[in-house]
Amino acid sequence: MPKAQETVLEINLKALKHNFEHLKSKIKDNTKFLAVVKAFSYGSDAKEIAKYLQHLGANYFAVAYASEGVELRKAGITLPILVLHPLPANFNAIIDNCLEPNLYNTKVLNEFIKVTTSKNLNNYPVHLKFNTGLNRLGFNKNDIASIVSKLKETNSIKVASIFSHLAASEDLNEKAFSLNQINTFKTIAQNFINSIGYKPMLHMCNTSGILNYPEAHFDMVRSGIGLYGFGNSEKENQNLIPIASLKTIISQIHTVKKGDTVGYNMAFKSNADIKTATLPIGHADGIGRQYGNGKGYVTINGEKAPIIGNVCMDMIMVNITNIDCKEGDEAIIFDANNTAESLAETANTISYELITGISKRVKRTFLK
């Protein structure tokens, strides 16, 4: 790995390939693989990640919002793209870019039928989400009759899949809850198929579902965080490689005398003579203020350097008193060894929040 010369997020495509192949090895050959590339591919780079996953053999992509799908189409992505949370204001953009919306309640179902009918479309692919316990988005089982009635009144749309989302697939202490969700979904799916007269694809499993509930792989699985190197457990983390390394450099070293303060609001007051390093990365880059005052750390020459004082917009200061280093040396915020998950835990949050928050102003480089 090259040493950083500036703040940079390195994306290791070889690690992405490893994670994709590991997750694929957990499913049957005829089970499709949907790669979740929402939120800038979990903070990396959606265009490059999607291009590579398309090359590797993914079958579907998913994004959260229509604008993300539009960007992928502009980048040359040709695979089907499921929009997980479409809004009626974006229905025209969805259709213009051949994106496939998740229709999750009566309002969006009716409005999408209205738009597709006005455009004289035929069998436009849509997906229906059913709520089985997450209580976030989705129809419930009592809606099946009214959904089917509306679908039979129009030829403008056709259901490509019905799906649901596991609420606690990573927590085996909640296995009974997950199994109840799976059984509920099976009942919903069978009732829907019997009523509509054809079988759409069925999918329910996220990354932890892929790993923990093979009986629920159905026709397709969806993976987000696993592709980026996190398995939501110590055991599964050993089989995956974090694809992103966030690095920066030491801009300046200071000697701070006993009683001196560091940073805004004098949040840190030294109780001894120490050395600090200032790094060109801050909360505008995705390192939130919760990581200040000793809660987070960076790694310099193999040693942990705690973040002291308040995180600034463009800079952080770290304690390097016992570290042999100099201005210009590399500082690792997180990588495959000093993981984003470990850093996030110091601020009582999760890897998802940390990696998806990396600002677009941070330079991305790709290791192929």
Q: Which residue has better confidence, 294 or 36?
A: 36
Q: pLDDT-based confidence at 368, cuts 50/70/90?
A: confident
Does residue 227 register a pLDDT over 80?
Answer: yes
CA torsion, points 233, 235, 240, 244, in degrees to nearest 10? 50
Rounded Cα–Cα distance for residues 207 and 168 (Å): 11
Tell me which of 65, 119, 199, 264 is the catalytic residue: 264
Q: What is the pLDDT of residues 33-50, one digit of tens each?
A: 999 999 999 999 999 999
Whole domain around residue 281: which residue ranges?
Answer: 244-367
Indicate whether 316 and 291 sit together in one domain: yes
SS3 282: coil
Can you give the pLDDT at residue 2? Answer: 76
Query: Taking Cα atoms as reference points, which of 296, 277, 300, 301 lies closest to residue 353?
Result: 296
Q: pLDDT-based confidence at 101, cuts 50/70/90?
A: very high
Indicate whether 216 and 357 sit together in one domain: no
Can you give the pLDDT at residue 229? Answer: 97
Indicate whether 248 and 213 sit together in one domain: no
Percent residues over pLDDT 90 in the chain: 97
- The DSSP secondary structure of 179-209, one letter per residue, reads HHHHHHHHHHHHHHHHHHSS--EEE---HHH
Q: What is the pLDDT of residues 102-150, one digit of tens each?
A: 999 999 999 999 999 999 999 999 999 999 999 999 999 999 999 999 9
Q: Is residue 16 part of a domain?
A: no
Indicate whether 81 and 206 sit together in one domain: yes
Does residue 232 register a pLDDT over 90?
Answer: no
Does residue 299 register a pLDDT over 80?
Answer: yes
CB 217 within 8 A of CB 27: yes
* Assigned token pair, 72: 């992928």
SS3 173: helix
Percent residues over pLDDT 70 in the chain: 100
Can you give the pLDDT at residue 10? Answer: 98
Query: Taking Cα atoms as reference points, which of 5, 346, 211, 42 lies closest to residue 16?
Result: 42
Indicate whether 152 and 272 sit together in one domain: no
| Ranges 104-113, 154-163, 217-226, 230-239: which has the least confidence | 230-239
CATH number of domain containing 222: 3.20.20.10
Tell me which of 38, 124, 291, 297 is the catalytic residue: 38
Q: Is residue 9 part of a domain?
A: no
- DSSP for residue 342: H
Q: Which of 199, 228, 257 is the last residue of a domain?
A: 228
Average pLDDT over residues 204-231: 97
Q: Is residue 223 part of a domain?
A: yes
Indicate whether 269 and 158 sit together in one domain: no
Does residue 1 register a pLDDT over 70?
Answer: no
Q: Residue 122: is it exposed, middle or buried by C-beta count within 10 angstroms (0-12/13-18/19+)?
A: exposed
Indicate whether 254 and 336 sit together in one domain: yes
Note every long-range contact of 151-157, with CB atoms under 8 Å and residues 24 or more positions apart, other chains counting. Answer: 151/196, 152/196, 154/113, 154/116, 154/117, 155/122, 155/123, 156/113, 156/116, 156/117, 156/119, 156/120, 156/121, 156/122, 156/123, 156/124, 157/112, 157/113, 157/116, 157/121, 157/123, 157/124, 157/125, 157/126
Q: What is the pLDDT of residues 234-280, one digit of tens each?
A: 899 999 999 999 999 999 999 999 999 999 999 999 999 999 999 99
Q: Is residue 13 part of a domain?
A: no
Q: Is residue 24 part of a domain?
A: no
Indicate whether 218 and 309 sit together in one domain: no
Can you give the pTM of this predicted structure?
0.95
Indicate whether 144 and 67 sit together in one domain: yes
Average pLDDT over residues 12-22: 98
Q: Is residue 56 part of a domain?
A: yes
Average pLDDT over residues 59-72: 98
SS3 43: helix
Indicate whether 205 and 265 sit together in one domain: no
Indicate whether 223 and 248 sit together in one domain: no
Q: Is residue 4 part of a domain?
A: no
Is 186 among the catalytic positions?
no
Does residue 188 register a pLDDT over 70?
Answer: yes
Q: Which of 202, 228, 254 is the last residue of a domain?
A: 228
Please, what is the average pLDDT of the chain? 97
CB 162 within 8 A of CB 205: no
CATH number of domain containing 335: 2.40.37.10
Indicate whether 206 and 268 sit together in one domain: no
Q: What is the pLDDT of residues 313-331, one digit of tens each?
A: 999 999 999 999 999 999 9
Domain count, the chain: 2
Is 264 among the catalytic positions?
yes
Q: Is residue 198 part of a domain?
A: yes
Can you give the pLDDT at residue 111? Answer: 98
Question: Beta-carbon neighbour count of residue 192 at 10 Å?
Answer: 25
